[in-house]
Amino acid sequence: MLAAVLLAPPVVWGEYGDVILDSKKESMEKAGVGPVVFPHWFHRIRFKCKVCHEDIFAMQRGANDISMKEIVQGRSCGVCHNGIVSWEPLYCERCHADAGTKGPAPAAVPKR
């Protein structure tokens, strides 16, 4: 039983309204970062929907191919996260979560 807990994939926690972005799971694991936890409602209370949708992001699950390359080149999240409008994409931990970084992670799930 202990082996099952230790070998289980890390748990990523979000709060209500957060979007877990893990479609590029393999490349994120290779880079040593966890999935992105996008705080949708945190952004929504500051901006109207039209700021991001439909010019930057399509409102359909899986329709947006977000990557660090896109972001650094000023597309997708990088439209705003450019060091001028908002902080630049230099701090991995601000978007990429590890087990337990959001919400009360179970104590039995180790960090990887």
pLDDT tens across 45-64, in order? 999 999 999 899 998 888 99
List Cα–Cα distances, 14 to 3, 101, 103, in angstroms: 26, 9, 6
> What CA–CA distance (Å, rounded) separates 85 from 64?
21
For residue 107 the two structure tokens come to 């104590």
Domains of the chain by start residue, with CATH: 17-94 (3.90.10.10)
Residue 102 pLDDT > 50: no
What average pLDDT does the chain have? Answer: 80
Write down the H helix ranges in the chain.
2-7, 25-31, 40-44, 68-72
For residue 88, cis peptide bond before it (omega within 30 degrees of 0):
no
The answer for residues whose C-beta is within 8 angstroms of residue 20's C-beta and 6 or more apart is: 12, 14, 35, 36, 37, 38
Q: Which residue has the tokens 């977000």?
A: 66
- For CA atoms 32, 35, 39, 40, the dihedral sign is positive
Statement: residue 5 has pLDDT above 50: no
